[in-house]
Amino acid sequence: MAQIPVTLMDPPIEELLDHVDSKFTLVALASRRARQVNSYYNSLGEGLGVVVPPQVASASGKPLSIAFEEVAAGKATFVRPDPAELLAEAEAAAGLLAEDDVEGMIILTEDADAEPIA
């Protein structure tokens, strides 16, 4: 039987990588969630309630450890946007911007008595 080596990292990185598609995604997800947890703890006295509280019971009070435990428990997840959808949204936004520019633009004609074209 193979024994799992004892490390300081709990949950193990291998277990965390099973929940994401790359190390970069793990870092981005955990850091964003750790910032949210930190914001939650900092705003407790203010009563704002805007940030979601920690979703797991953790022995550690550190935001990054809590974020890693949430990833391991499947409570913190990510959604990779579809490149085709992003392109369609960008084209739609560019189209709206171009229409707004045309509507607000006044074009002068050669005839001084003619109405400006909008």
- CATH code, domain with 19: 3.90.940.10
- The reported pLDDT for the residue numbered 91 is 85
Q: Do 31 and 13 sit in the same domain of this protein?
A: yes
- The reported pLDDT for the residue numbered 11 is 86
What's the total number of domains in the chain? 2
> In tens digits, what is the pLDDT along the chain, a chain of 118 residues?
566 555 567 788 899 999 999 999 999 999 999 999 998 888 876 766 667 888 888 888 899 999 999 999 999 888 888 888 888 888 888 876 555 444 444 444 444 555 544 4
Q: Do 28 and 17 sit in the same domain of this protein?
A: yes
Q: Do 70 and 26 sit in the same domain of this protein?
A: yes
82 contacts 25 by C-beta, under 8 angstroms:
no
Q: Do 87 and 73 sit in the same domain of this protein?
A: no
Length of the chain: 118
The tokens for 66 are 């809590």
80 contacts 94 by C-beta, under 8 angstroms:
no
- The reported pLDDT for the residue numbered 81 is 83
67 contacts 33 by C-beta, under 8 angstroms:
yes
Give the domain range for residue 92.
Answer: 81-118
Q: Do 34 and 74 sit in the same domain of this protein?
A: yes
Q: Do 49 and 88 sit in the same domain of this protein?
A: no
Distance CA 105, CA 103 (A): 6
pTM over cut 0.75: no
Q: Do 58 and 71 sit in the same domain of this protein?
A: yes
